[in-house]
Amino acid sequence: MMDRKISPASLESCKDPLKASKYFAVPDKLSDIFLVLIRIGILVSLIASVSLALHLAFSKPTRWFPLPDHLQVSHNVSDTAPTNMSHILFGIGGSVNTWQERSCYSGLWWDPNTTRGFVWLDQKPKYDVSHFLVPYQISHDWRQFRHVHSDYAVRIARIVYESFKLGLPNVRWFVMGDDDTVFFPKNLVTVLGKYDHREMYYIGGNSESVEQDVMHAYGMAFGGGGFAISYALAAQLANIFDSCLHRYYYFYGSDQRVWACVSEIGVPLTKESGFHQLDIRGDPHGLLAAHPLAPLVSLHHLDHLQPLFSNQTHIDSMKTIIHAYHLDPYRIMQQTFCYDPKRRWSISISWGYVVQIYTSMLPAKDLQTPLQTFKTWRSYSDGPFTFNTRPMSSDPCKQPALFFLDKVQEVRSSGTVTSYKRFVHAEAKKCMAAGINPEEVERITVSALKLDPNYWKNVPRRQCCRVMDGGSIKDGSLRMRIRKCRTRETVTIRQL
Ligand SMILES: *[C@@H]1O[C@H](CO)[C@@H](O)[C@H](O)[C@H]1NC(C)=O
Ligand SMILES: *[C@@H]1O[C@H](CO)[C@@H](O)[C@H](O)[C@H]1NC(C)=O
Ligand SMILES: *[C@@H]1O[C@H](CO)[C@@H](O)[C@H](O)[C@H]1NC(C)=O
Ligand SMILES: *[C@@H]1O[C@H](CO)[C@@H](O)[C@H](O)[C@H]1NC(C)=O
């Protein structure tokens, strides 16, 4: 048994909580030189367009840059072994200006021994990259595309195509992400393993904020949450990609371009609820304390949100989560709830993250609904979101008591004990004094068997939990156990 206190140390390159970089900066005032340049540019593009038109008229090109021959043949169709990490090729959208700072995000989850892929940069970095885990590639041939907004988005969209063109062996899935996306790779393998890479799949998630889905598309995989393109789809996309980019020159984002091109092939988005664009503002804990019953695949926009743990920096919060993920990857952030019938408490556990105690009996349908501790992405409104929420009371006495992950232990390689420590913000103290909040509990200790990845191959069913020792509190600690539900077991409250 190993007992580890989580005390995250900062990574060298992650001293500051990360700031959003601005790729889309536009100069305030166009100087005369700019105007001259623009005129020359227009003339050059006019000549280029005329010659291109002539070229197109007298030739029959299927793509702008021919693919190497070995990529034209379809993938080995008898390749039916189960999907594993080696079949995934990651393509991370980066740039030399931001990579130094943002590489600490991929540094959290990238395992140089098992993860394949590259960060794609706009030019060769002048700084030392020897300590970065993710190897880089330089994007090619992206400057000549027509665009209204930043050509950065054109370049990032082309990563799918450029990754495919590398022609690396045994790639089944091309997975795209931003340089600030945190992936949970084992869960990604579990999710992609459900699908046949020889069919055309486009897998990901959309935005949590309805306003974003309305503005972009509900059927689009938002790039920050990451998305996966099967080999079969990538091969089809490669045939049209560059001409397609040209057609959607007026789009803003790279993910929107990929979506538009995939639409031309006629493939819809397969939604998986473990991909998280996290287009929300404020405190994400309400959402992640009630994660959908699906493996956690990715988190994004962490630098735009409050840290996951109120007491830790952004990067240290993520290290704490990743630490728990390594112990029981398939269970991370899975929600379980149960009741202390004697005290009439409802207890919700988001494994490896947070425990909430309500001093009332809340039915399952409420406990599984996220508390709205956040706002929408664009307008900072109270909704709508693409899922239901419960309002979070501004009265601290009506908020659940929070216990954040503090210690993790592995037990005989098949189980875990996780310990969650009470977090009391200043205002909540008076509620405790008034006896409204459970004052006597300082710590929740949760034991569980590690979740088998095959769990996710079955029809999902939430696991059950129970309060141990008849609910007695020893040294301020309440013990809980998570286990498979018995066949006829339910989380029913007999007297509401
Ligand atoms: C296809 O894959 C199978 C199993 O991996 C292998 O036995 C076979 O030789 C491969 N065929 C070709 C044409 O590469
Ligand atoms: C992944 O699957 C391939 C078969 O496609 C197999 O050769 C390889 O050993 C597997 N790798 C791991 C780490 O299991
Ligand atoms: C990668 O593999 C080497 C050699 O097997 C090992 O020493 C190293 O600890 C591994 N690195 C990680 C991050 O697992
Ligand atoms: C948060 O940090 C403060 C000061 O470092 C510490 O006293 C407190 O115990 C911490 N709370 C939790 C829940 O870790």
CB atoms within 10 A of CB 379: 11
Torsion of CA 300, 305, 311, 315, to 10 degrees: 40
Asked whether residue 6 carries a pLDDT value surpassing 70, the answer given is no
Which of 96, 71, 372 shows the shortest CA–CA distance to 236? 71
Whether 100 and 190 map to the same domain: the answer is: yes
Whether 463 and 335 map to the same domain: the answer is: yes
Q: Tell me, what amino acid is at 100?
A: Q
Work out the widest C-alpha separation in the chain, in whole angstroms: 84
pLDDT at site 179: 94
Residue nearest to atom 10 of ligand 3 (CA): 113
* Cα–Cα distance measured from residue 324 to residue 416, given in angstroms and rounded to the nearest whole number: 10
The response to whether residue 326 sits with its C-beta less than 6 Å from ligand 3 reads no
Asked whether residue 423 carries a pLDDT value surpassing 70, the answer given is yes
pLDDT band, residue 27 (cuts 50/70/90): very low
Tokens of 488: 């006829």
Indicate the SS3 state at residue 458.
coil
Residue nearest to atom 4 of ligand 1 (CA): 79
Asked whether residue 281 carries a pLDDT value surpassing 90, the answer given is yes
Residue nearest to atom 2 of ligand 4 (CA): 311
pLDDT at site 378: 95
Of 254, 271, 288, which closes a domain?
A: 271
- The dihedral of CA 256, 257, 260, 261: what is its sign? negative
Using only C-alpha atoms, the chain has a radius of gyration, in whole angstroms, of 25
Top-ranked range on mean pLDDT: pick from 13-27, 51-65, 139-153: 139-153
Whether 339 and 226 map to the same domain: the answer is: no
Q: Residue 429 domain-assigned?
A: yes
Asked whether residue 334 carries a pLDDT value surpassing 70, the answer given is yes
Number of domains in the chain: 2
Of 271, 303, 321, which closes a domain?
A: 271
Asked whether residue 35 carries a pLDDT value surpassing 90, the answer given is no
Mean pLDDT of 187-209: 97
CA of 86 to the centre of ligand 2 (A): 7
- Which residue has tokens 């926009």? 301
Could you tell me which residues come within 8 angstroms of residue 206 by beta carbon, excluding any fewer than 6 positions away?
Answer: 212, 213, 217, 218, 219, 220, 221, 222, 269, 271, 277, 386
Q: Residue 277 domain-assigned?
A: no
Q: Residue 230 domain-assigned?
A: yes
Residue nearest to atom 5 of ligand 2 (CA): 81
Per-residue model confidence as pLDDT tens digits over 69-114 = 556 545 555 678 999 999 999 999 999 999 999 999 999 999 999 9
CA of 81 to the centre of ligand 2 (A): 8
The response to whether residue 84 sits with its C-beta less than 6 Å from ligand 2 reads yes
Q: Residue 404 domain-assigned?
A: yes
Output 45 or 382, whichever has higher pLDDT: 382
Q: Residue 151 domain-assigned?
A: yes
Residue nearest to atom 2 of ligand 1 (CA): 79
Whether 235 and 341 map to the same domain: the answer is: no
Whether 237 and 345 map to the same domain: the answer is: no
pLDDT at site 157: 87
**Closest ligand to residue 82's CA:** 2
pLDDT band, residue 433 (cuts 50/70/90): low
* Cα–Cα distance measured from residue 349 to residue 405, given in angstroms and rounded to the nearest whole number: 10
Distances (CA, A) of 447 to 84, 334, 340, 380, 436: 29, 14, 17, 38, 27
State which of 310, 311, 404 you would mutate to test the pocket of ligand 4, scoring each by most atoms of that ligand within 8 A of its C-beta: 311
CATH label of the domain that carries residue 126: 3.90.550.50
* Cα–Cα distance measured from residue 321 to residue 341, given in angstroms and rounded to the nearest whole number: 31
* Atom of ligand 3 minimally distant from the CA of 112: 13
The answer to whether 213 and 168 have CB atoms below 8 angstroms apart is no
Asked whether residue 47 carries a pLDDT value surpassing 70, the answer given is no
Residue 221 DSSP class: P
- The dihedral of CA 424, 405, 6, 466: what is its sign? positive
The response to whether residue 2 sits with its C-beta less than 6 Å from ligand 2 reads no
Whether 72 and 184 map to the same domain: the answer is: yes
- Which residue has tokens 């790639």? 171
CA of 10 to the centre of ligand 3 (A): 21
The response to whether residue 111 sits with its C-beta less than 6 Å from ligand 3 reads yes
Whether 84 and 199 map to the same domain: the answer is: yes
**Closest ligand to residue 87's CA:** 2
Whether 162 and 257 map to the same domain: the answer is: yes
Q: Residue 180 domain-assigned?
A: yes
Distances (CA, A) of 95 to 303, 304, 321, 356: 17, 19, 27, 40
Q: Residue 196 domain-assigned?
A: yes
CA of 230 to the centre of ligand 1 (A): 19
Whether 341 and 229 map to the same domain: the answer is: no
Q: Residue 19 domain-assigned?
A: no
Could you tell me which residues come within 8 angstroms of residue 492 by beta carbon, excluding any fewer than 6 positions away?
Answer: none
Domain span at residue 260?
62-271
Say if strands 371-372 and 374-376 run parallel, antiparallel, or are unpaired. unpaired
Whether 111 and 195 map to the same domain: the answer is: yes
**Closest ligand to residue 107's CA:** 3
State which of 85, 111, 113 you would mutate to test the pocket of ligand 3, scoring each by most atoms of that ligand within 8 A of its C-beta: 113
CA of 316 to the centre of ligand 1 (A): 45
The answer to whether 257 and 245 have CB atoms below 8 angstroms apart is yes
Which of 223, 206, 196, 189 shows the shortest CA–CA distance to 269? 206
Asked whether residue 388 carries a pLDDT value surpassing 80, the answer given is yes
Q: What angle do CA 75, 76, 77 make, to 5 degrees?
A: 100
The response to whether residue 13 sits with its C-beta less than 6 Å from ligand 2 reads no
Whether 249 and 105 map to the same domain: the answer is: yes
Whether 264 and 334 map to the same domain: the answer is: no
What residues are in contact with ligand 4 under a 6 Å CB criterion? 311, 404, 421, 423
Torsion region of 112: left, alpha or beta (phi above 0 gives left; psi -120 to 50 gives alpha): alpha
Asked whether residue 432 carries a pLDDT value surpassing 80, the answer given is no
**Closest ligand to residue 79's CA:** 1
Of 256, 271, 286, which closes a domain?
A: 271
